[in-house]
Amino acid sequence: MFQVLKVSVLYFAGVFAAGFVLGVIRTLWVTPALGPRAAELIEAPIMLLVVILVARTLVRRHALAQGWQWLTVGVVALALLLAVEFTVVLQLRDLSISEYLASRDPVSGTVYYVLLGMFAVMPLLMFRQRSGNAA
C-alpha cells in the first residue's frame, strides 16, 4: 500500500506542477488577451496531455500489478489535488467552496470537471493499455 501512496503523490505532484505553470501563463497572459473562458478552454487539452503523459510514465516505471491499485493511485491523487485546491488556492483567492463553484464558467467549468474525472481514471486506463486489458 505504501507503493500506491508513493505513486499517487508522484502523480499528483507531476500534474499539479504542470498545472501551476500553465495556470500562471493563463492568468497573466492568456486571460487578459482572450478572456477567462477561452483561456481555460485552451489550457484544457494541454492539461489532458500532461495527465496522459504523467500517468503513462508512472505505469511504465512502477510495478503495481493490479488495476485496482492504479485506480487507487488516481483517486488518491485527485483527493490530494482537491485538498490543495480547496485549501490553499481558495484561501489565496479569498473564496469559499460554494463561491468558487458558483463562479465557474458553465462551459469551461464543465470541461474542468470532466478533466478531474479523467485525471482520476487515467492511471488505470494507461495500465490497461499497457497490459493489453483494454476491454
> How do residues 24-59 score in pLDDT, each as one tens digit?
999 999 999 999 999 999 999 999 999 999 999 999
DSSP state of 62: S
The predicted structure's pLDDT at residue 135: 47
Q: Which domain holds residue 81?
A: 2-131
The predicted structure's pLDDT at residue 95: 84
Which residues in 61-79 are b (16+ Cβ under 10 Å) and which e? ebebeeeebbbbbbbbbbe
Using 50, 70 and 90 to split pLDDT, how confident is the model at 69? very high
Alpha-carbon distance of 97 to 26, in angstroms, equals: 22
| Mean pLDDT of all residues in 92-101 | 86
pLDDT greater than 60 at residue 88: yes
CA 101 → CA 23, 37, 98, 109, distances in Å? 18, 15, 5, 9
Count of domains for the chain: 1
pLDDT greater than 80 at residue 97: yes
